[in-house]
Amino acid sequence: MSTPGAPAPDAPPGTERTPRVVAARKLLRRAGRDRAGRFLVEGAQAVREALDGARVRELLLTDAAAERHPELVEAAAAAGARISAVTERAAESLSDTVTPQGLVAVCDLLDVPVAEALGERARLVAVCAGIADPGNAGAVIRVADAAGADAVLLAGDTVDPHNPKAVRASTGSVFHLPLARERDTAAVLDACRSAGLALLVADGHGELDLHDARAAAVLAGPVAWVFGGEAHGVPDDVAAAADHRVRVPIYGRAESLNLATAAAVCLYASAGGRRLGPR
């Protein structure tokens, strides 16, 4: 690679034992990410999104990946990121996918304090409360981004949004809207209330039907939707603290909706309500 910022053409590619590769591999674990303040992003599209957000510190890639994506090498060099050639085996050691793409970026962590994520005029927020599956958390972030949400807050024991599977499931949306992590779920709910948001818990047994006429006025206002894990839903104490527990009606014979689908239905109902106003 002769691109500015790249190693000299005759420099040997890093192996799985090279210190920079070893350091990057530690970012596959949450403890390593939190210590370093950085995380890994794998694949051309995700790296492209990270570069647009000026988050990339280092780009590690194989020669084959560099040939496939010269524009990403150039963008990384222009952003001042270090570019490190690595072997195929080294790239595989940095991947948790079945078919590694040979292209991994080391990026700064994305999360900000809850107050900063909410900003001054948040109108639609998604709260992940106790979601343990990274694919589900990433899917909620993706849906929130698509619905035009102002932020995603990850409360309690919710999985790290920088988990590689969560990043992949978000398809780049982790770079598009503010994310905040807070272990104290009550503090997250209080912050939402202080920001003027009504707390709506998605609950299959909720007292308010999403399609009930009474829901229209609620959906038209500023709201924070709270979603729980797919297996157990929102914790009881969190559900009890909400202003409304809202159910998505099941008209057919399906037992329930999966988390990503339920989040999409709820967030889009609010997005539509904001545009149409109460009926």
Segment 196-225, tens digit of pLDDT: 999 999 888 889 999 998 898 899 999 999
What pLDDT shows up at residue 198? 96
- Is 114-276 a CATH 3.40.1280.10 domain? yes
- Report pLDDT for 2: 38
What is the model's pLDDT at position 55?
A: 84
Q: Mean of the pLDDT values across residues 89-110?
A: 94
**pLDDT of residue 67 exceeding 90:** yes
Domain range annotation of the chain: 19-108, 114-276
List all residues 6 or more positions away from 46 whose beta carbon is below 8 Å from its beta carbon. Answer: 105, 167, 168, 171, 172
Q: What is the pLDDT of residue 276?
A: 56
Overall fold of domain 19-108 = 60s Ribosomal Protein L30; Chain: A; (3.30.1330)
Predicted confidence at residue 162, as pLDDT, reads 97
- Residue-by-residue DSSP string for the chain: --STTSPPTTSPPB-TTSHHHHHHHGGGSHHHHHHHTEEEEESHHHHHHHHHTT-EEEEEE-HHHHHH-HHHHHHHHHTT-EEEEB-HHHHHHT--SSS--SEEEEEE-----HHHHHTTT--EEEEEES---HHHHHHHHHHHHHTT-SEEEEETTPPPTTSHHHHHHTTTGGGTS-EEEES-HHHHHHHHHHTTPEEEEE-TT-SEETTSTTHHHHHHS-EEEEEEBTTTBS-HHHHHHSSEEEE----SS-S---HHHHHHHHHHHHHHHHHH---
pLDDT-derived band at 1, boundaries 50, 70, 90: very low
